[in-house]
Amino acid sequence: MFIDLDNFEQHKQTIMDQIKHCDFLGFDLELTGIKGDYQDTFEELPFERYLKARKVSMKYNIIQFGLSIFIKSQKGYQAYPYTFYLFPQDLDDFVGLQVGAIFFNSEHGMDWNRWINKGLGYINRAQYQKLQEDYNKDFQQLDQEELKTQFEKILDDVKAADKKTIQDLIDKLEKFNKSDDKQTTIETTNGYQRKVIYTYLEAYQKNMIGESLLKGEMKITKLTNAEKQAKDDERQKFKADRFQTKTGFYQIWECILNSKKYLVGHNCFADVMFCYSHFVQCPPISWEEFKEDIARNWPPIYDTKYIIQSAQPLEKIRGKLETSTSIENLAEFIKSNMNYIQIDVELEQNLYHTAGFDAYMTGFIFINLTKDFTQQELQNQKNKLNQFKSNYSINLNSAEDIKLNQKYVIYIKLPEEDRRNLQIQKNQRQQFQKSAFDNIVNTLKQQYDLSASRTIHYKYIYIEFNQEYNLKQIQNKLSKVPEFQECQLFNEQQYEKDRREFKEKEAKLERFDKRQ
């Protein structure tokens, strides 16, 4: 089912009740952009990939949030898939678009008009808390004596230029109150005077309401008790509706977090990043702080991409896979090769890359991949996420991530560039880098078993060995290479420290929007 501004209120309570009583939730996002400023590489450390994903998630937007709610039944499962269109409602917010993402989503039937015109608003955690505080203040009823005290304090602070005018207006209103007239008009000269009059009406004339007109005029109307109650009810309904509209999808998001029902995605690191940056806050610069927040405050997350690639009980199934592990391929493989569990579901359309359908298929894959897992085998997969084109998988449970490539690696840091004459320095630097790379690698090949070598980030030489060697011996060997005299030799821990200092300093200079 597609959910937008037109039908959100109609279905909201049903969806929230289903979330509270479900067994787990499949989720998937369609986004306005996904690529960073440079290509993903295997050499990137997890914190580097995180900082890049952090920047992307703040730059682009969510088009659709797919949520599929799975509830166990006697025959298997019942599923309730929803596709929420989301669009920022604050006029000061922004929308970022990437051309590739526009083409991709258009090819898969994205309704752009519905997204823009009917998309649900959403806010983050801090914005929600502030909005809720303001909303609660609006409904706090001060007693009459408190209102009078508040008004007298305002009156004491009135500027001399306004004091006589305000007193004349109050006298006129008191005279009007004693009359049989139903309505009158008064003239003010500025917004401050109107504010004082509104406060006066609340404190002393509960049977009157004011309405600002053009050119400083105010229309004052007497109300019966029934009319006053009707007006108060109308005002409260307006404020409540405005609160609901502004919070929008955040109500669903908060229900998901509070339910503690585990979230199942497919290759979902980017989805997690976008949820955090759009519904929680600007992600912290610290990778460890981000992971700690997720592990402490979110439900458990399962990534079916990580599960199919890493779970020990699925080793035989992995051996039969002849295609990529995309959602489409995995779903078709399960249907063709496994005695799969049936799911009772009503689908408006079977269209991959529609968020709700992908969320449903992700849940279908999860159910059938893990149906024979023990509790411990399932627990072993919790909060572990796949990373595309990386030597690491993500472990949200710990500061340490999962290294997939156990090769021994060293890094050689090239000298910093001299910025006094950039063009000359650029040419010299390129020549030096090529010479340093060739001579260092050729020297090491004479004695050591290398499996890979390349220049990364324009400032390091990455060298991978097939076995571990003594770093001191490597340094002694390289000391005979002239170019090495200007370089620094790092092991993996030293490289991470050096790289982290640079990248975190760079991240602190970046500015996004009011979510930060």
pLDDT at 138: 61
Please check the confidence at residue 513 and state whether its pLDDT lies above 80.
no
Which residues make Cβ contacts (< 8 Å) with residue 149, sequence separation at least 6?
none
Residue 389 belongs to domain with CATH number: 3.30.420.10
Q: Are residues 255 and 349 in the same domain?
A: yes
Residue 188 belongs to domain with CATH number: 3.30.1370.50
Give the separation between CA 251 and CA 123, rounded to whole angstroms.
10
Helices (runs of H) and strands (runs of E) counted in the chain: 20, 17
Using 50, 70 and 90 to split pLDDT, how confident is the model at 161?
confident
Give the separation between CA 256 and CA 249, rounded to whole angstroms.
11
Domain that holds residue 160: 144-240
Over residues 84-93, mean pLDDT: 86
Over residues 299-313, mean pLDDT: 95
Q: Are residues 254 and 220 in the same domain?
A: no
At 453, is the secondary structure helix, strand, or coil? strand
Q: Show the tokens assigned to 373.
A: 């897992």
Q: Are residues 274 and 187 in the same domain?
A: no
What DSSP element (H or E) covers 452? strand 450-456
Give the separation between CA 481 and CA 252, rounded to whole angstroms.
62
Domain count, the chain: 3
Question: Is residue 134 assigned to a domain?
Answer: no
Please tell me the least confidently modeled range out of 26-40, 115-129, 187-201, 225-239.
225-239
Over residues 40-59, mean pLDDT: 91
Q: Are residues 216 and 257 in the same domain?
A: no
Q: Show the tokens assigned to 251.
A: 């109500």
Q: Are residues 430 and 499 in the same domain?
A: yes
Over residues 368-386, mean pLDDT: 95
What is the tens place of the pLDDT at every residue in 378-409?
Answer: 999 999 999 988 889 999 999 999 988 888 99
Using 50, 70 and 90 to split pLDDT, how confident is the model at 341?
very high
Please check the confidence at residue 512 and state whether its pLDDT lies above 70.
no
Q: Are residues 461 and 318 in the same domain?
A: no
Question: Is residue 137 assigned to a domain?
Answer: no
Question: Is residue 127 assigned to a domain?
Answer: no
At 220, is the secondary structure helix, strand, or coil? strand
Domain end position, chosen among 214, 240, 266: 240
Three-state SS sequence of 308-369: HHHCHHHHHHHHHCCCCCCHHHHHHHHHHHCCCCCEEECCCCCCCCCHHHHHHHHHHHHHHH
Domain end position, chosen among 207, 240, 273: 240
Q: Are residues 383 and 263 in the same domain?
A: yes
Question: Is residue 139 assigned to a domain?
Answer: no
At 161, is the secondary structure helix, strand, or coil? helix
Q: What is the pTM of this model?
A: 0.81
Question: Is residue 128 assigned to a domain?
Answer: no
Please check the confidence at residue 367 and state whether its pLDDT lies above 70.
yes
Q: Are residues 462 and 338 in the same domain?
A: no
Q: Are residues 67 and 103 in the same domain?
A: yes
Question: Is residue 400 assigned to a domain?
Answer: no
CB 135 within 8 Å of CB 238: no
Q: Show the tokens assigned to 407.
A: 């090769």
pLDDT at 516: 46
Other Cβ atoms closer than 10 A to 91: 5
Using 50, 70 and 90 to split pLDDT, how confident is the model at 270?
very high
Over residues 329-358, mean pLDDT: 89
Please check the confidence at residue 463 and state whether its pLDDT lies above 90.
yes
Residue 424 belongs to domain with CATH number: 3.30.70.1510
Please check the confidence at residue 257 and state whether its pLDDT lies above 50.
yes
Please check the confidence at residue 421 and state whether its pLDDT lies above 70.
no
Question: Is residue 130 assigned to a domain?
Answer: no
Q: Is the model more confident about 146 or about 483?
A: 483
Please check the confidence at residue 306 and state whether its pLDDT lies above 80.
yes
Which pairs count as long-range contacts for 370-376, CB under 8 Å and 24+ apart, including other chains? 370/307, 370/311, 371/341, 372/313, 373/311, 373/313
Using 50, 70 and 90 to split pLDDT, how confident is the model at 1?
very high
Q: Are residues 426 and 451 in the same domain?
A: yes
Over residues 167-193, mean pLDDT: 89
Give the separation between CA 204 and CA 202, rounded to whole angstroms.
6
Please check the confidence at residue 264 and state whether its pLDDT lies above 60.
yes
Q: For the CA atoms of 165, 166, 171, 172, what is the dihedral angle to 10 degrees? A: 70
Q: Are residues 253 and 371 in the same domain?
A: yes
Q: Show the tokens assigned to 428.
A: 């010299």
Per the prediction, the chain carries an average pLDDT of 89
Q: Are residues 258 and 331 in the same domain?
A: yes
Give the separation between CA 302 and CA 271, rounded to whole angstroms.
12
Beta bridge partners of 464: 409, 452
Question: Is residue 226 assigned to a domain?
Answer: yes
Domain end position, chosen among 365, 395, 425: 395
Give the separation between CA 302 and CA 380, rounded to whole angstroms.
10
CB 301 within 8 Å of CB 325: no
State what percent of residues in the chain have pLDDT above 70: 95
State what percent of residues in the chain have pLDDT above 90: 59
Which residues make Cβ contacts (< 8 Å) with residue 231, sequence separation at least 6?
209, 223
What DSSP element (H or E) covers 240? helix 225-247
